[in-house]
Amino acid sequence: MKITRVRFVLCGYELPTPIPLSCGELTHRNFGLVLVETDAGVTGIGETSVNFPPWCVHERRATIEDGLQSLLLGENPLDIARLNKRMVDATRPFTRMWAEGAIAQAISGIDIALWDIAGKEYGVPVWQLLGGKYRDEILCYAVGFNAADPGKGALDMRGRGYTHGKMRIGFDDAADIAKARGMREAVGNDFAMMIDANQAFDLPRARRMMTALSDLDLYWLEEPLLNDDFDGYAALRTEFPQIPLAWGENAFSLGNYNTMLDNHLVDVAMPDPCRSGGLTTAVRMAETAANHGIAISPHHYGSDVGFVAALHLAASQPNFSIMLRDEAPVPLRGDILSEPLAVRNGTISVPAKPGLGIDLDHDIVETSTIRL
Ligand SMILES: [Mg+2]
């Protein structure tokens, strides 16, 4: 089997109401699909994260189709590790002169598609290729609900069976604290509450916010500081032992994982298969965490193609804890699949079909494709 073509397909639309994050406002929801075609008629489906910055969609098409594709044409798609290394080696200098995250996210989409091809070729789900599964059901927490009133949103999520939910901060600190208190008051103590700062703070501001939030019994605080502020994380880890820290969606190399986890600076690691360099690297990140007794919560913020990729990671790793489920009202996220996924009572079954176990709704993909 040989690779004959690698395509980037951007699906998306402008949101009626923008989604605020501390690093910027999401005015569109864009989903970066990656299709790897072969001479055997098998096509692998993957996803590359294209949330920020808004212009990254142009860079991603070029990186995948003009840059990485030529490294893969004529190659055997089943040599996943070798092809991943080939892409990493060929782009390593550019991670310094250009952007480590952009390159890792481009490689991610291709790598996931290669795993999908391998599963289809061998007739088994991707989790089987990753060593088998530890669980049949994946526990999820909700995110993306009611930014204006997270207390009301969390009650809605609890009504749908979720036991865990996450709100975002990093905007106006006083308002954020009030909303966080409102969420805890609304749901009481039998709902696990996470807060995500999306790298918004410097160390003094993080200290002020963590002091203000310290009595809310947080399940975790996510990315209070920039991803590679190792000294800052070390300080917070020591000063606020009662607040577990989650981190890892913006770490694009195993080196960063080693530095953070070797020193036990965080409690939960969040490898994202659509960002980290694919499932190949995400598994290595998960294993790094496991070697240090640290749990993983696979990150994902895109379409249900990438969500499924993260489910295979979650199923196959011993140190999995809980999985993000975006509950923002964005129908295209799931509509691009021929069979929509079902999260019921905050859990979802592990995919059973070969490969990722999904197919695209080609009509929906076609009508939602944004030509670049
Ligand atoms: Mg996050």
The rounded Å distance from CA 79 to ligand 1 centre is 32
The rounded Å distance from CA 365 to ligand 1 centre is 27
Burial class (CB in 10 A: 0-12, 13-18, 19+), 68: buried
The rounded Å distance from CA 367 to ligand 1 centre is 30
The pLDDT averaged over each successive group of 10 residues in the chain (372 residues) is 98 91 90 98 98 94 98 98 98 92 98 99 98 98 95 98 98 98 96 97 98 98 97 98 98 94 96 98 98 98 98 98 96 97 96 98 98 92
Decide: helix, strand or coil at residue 81.
helix
The rounded Å distance from CA 63 to ligand 1 centre is 25
Neighbour tally for 170: CB within 10 Å: 21
The rounded Å distance from CA 73 to ligand 1 centre is 35
Distance CA 152, CA 17 (A): 18
Amino acid at 37: E
The rounded Å distance from CA 65 to ligand 1 centre is 28
pTM exceeds cut of 0.85: yes
The rounded Å distance from CA 45 to ligand 1 centre is 24
Neighbour tally for 74: CB within 10 Å: 9
CB contact set of 278 (below 8 Å; sequence gap of 6+): 46, 84, 107, 108, 109, 110, 111, 112, 114, 115
Domains of the chain: 3-124+364-368 (3.30.390.10), 128-355 (3.20.20.120)
The rounded Å distance from CA 247 to ligand 1 centre is 8
Q: pLDDT tens digit string along 273-322? A: 999 999 999 999 999 999 999 999 999 999 999 999 999 999 999 999 99
Q: How far is CA 308 from the centre of its chain?
A: 11
Distance CA 221, CA 213 (A): 10
The pLDDT, as a whole number, for residue 155 is: 98
The rounded Å distance from CA 185 to ligand 1 centre is 23
The rounded Å distance from CA 74 to ligand 1 centre is 37
Up-side HSE of residue 52: CA atoms within 13 Å toward CB?
Answer: 11
The pLDDT, as a whole number, for residue 20 is: 87
CB 318 within 8 A of CB 127: no
Q: Identify the CA nearest to 52 among candidates 35, 87, 27.
A: 27
The rounded Å distance from CA 144 to ligand 1 centre is 11
Neighbour tally for 183: CB within 10 Å: 24
The rounded Å distance from CA 165 to ligand 1 centre is 12
Distance CA 142, CA 170 (A): 19
Distance CA 316, CA 132 (A): 6
Residue keyed to tokens 């590679």: 228
